[in-house]
Amino acid sequence: MSEIVLGVSGGIASYKAAELLRLFTESGHGVQVVPTPASLNFVGAATWEALSGRSVQTGVFDNVQDVPHVRIGQAADLVVVAPATANTLAKAAHGLADDLLTNTLLTARCPVVFAPAMHTEMWESLATQSNVETLRARGHIVLEPAVGRLTGADSGKGRLPAPAAIFAACLNILQGRAQDLIGKRVVVSAGGTREFLDPVRYLGNRSSGLQGYALAEAAVARGAQVTLVAANVSLPSPAGVDVVPVVSTRELRDAMVELAATADAVVMAAAPADFRPAEFVETKIKKTLDGQAPDLRLVENPDILFELVSSRSSKSPVVVGFAAETGDAGATVIEHARAKLARKGCDLLVVNDVSAGKAFGRDDNEAVILGADGSIDEVPLGPKIDLAHAVWDAVVHRLDEPGTA
């Protein structure tokens, strides 16, 4: 298994790193915890030693005969700093090395992941954002912090991502995936939209959002800056992803069009409703004594995928669509999908055969990835994260083509 360095900097979220450490060790990885001196005010060395089974030090002059400020980084397959405070990010960005962790960051030649945790104002400050951009430009992965309760009564963006989500992102990196999306901004949609008839009822679909979330997780592992537009999804947010919640197809459309303007790649994995009620009834629609159902008039929703393609500029994002198809007497699944690819004009179309309940709400998936250039890539049944990486493989290939972002 892999050798992991877990750096812990001095923030209140330090206690959550104990759960991350446990996830690593229970998966068989060797973990060397390197806390900063300030972090020991929150979680003591005894905790890290008990959970990791290894001695812990913070200074470069402890056990100096072993040259730890060099050896720890040299031996690592992955360095993850969780939490990464604004101070630690600043030191890393400027190459400062005044403790064992910052020395380790300078000597590591493996992937480095920072999981920030701080108050919203600190995260949004120009200094911190500049430091984050510097680290990302060097090839390091800086996860987006989560939104939620912070210290005291404050809430906002800056919360440490869930340890399980950080762990999942790190596992993807340890699998040796290429960091081929570093410096790229990608937008992924997930879930299914809802179109309300009245305050209680809505038109919707069976999309769980699992595949969209897997796409976001895989993109983070490959170094991308990821925004996930989530339509009615109840899954925990993937680590390092900026999540934008939406409800209706029109809300999804507005978010995707705005975000696509600055994206290098856009993946429409969500399942938007094709139609919505022409009128919304302000009170619950009641049953009638004569048993007559109300007449329901529908109007067509925006075609988001087509609009994303047609509104592209000359330096355009790669656009990927998803198609949930079933065959019929008129055509096969692939024939229907090819017609849709031509009609939508996107670069790639991921085709799911959803007959007999396939794909929806399951942890595995299989698909065919069709390219506008005539390519076809069959992805066999497997975890949805595998299909996600197959999609990004196809996207990366097209990112390098002339005329794309």
Question: Is 131 designated active site?
Answer: no
Q: What's the CA angle centered on 263, arms 207 and 258, to 5 degrees? A: 70
Helices (H) and strands (E) in the chain, counts: 13, 19
Which pair of structure tokens corresponds to residue 45? 């060395």
Beta-carbon contacts of 258 under 8 Å, excluding residues fewer than 6 positions away, are none
Q: What is the DSSP string of 332-373?
A: -HHHHHHHHHHHH--SEEEEEE-GGG-STT-SEEEEEEEETT
d(CA 336, CA 325): 7
- Cis preceding-peptide flag for 83 (omega within 30 of 0): yes
C-alpha 171/C-alpha 164 separation (Å) is 10
Contact 215, 388 (CB under 8 A): yes
Q: Which one of the listed residues 63, 205, 232, 301 is annotated catalytic? A: 205
Cα–Cα distance for residue pair 350/150, rounded to 1 Å: 39
Supply the residues annotated as catalytic. Answer: 205
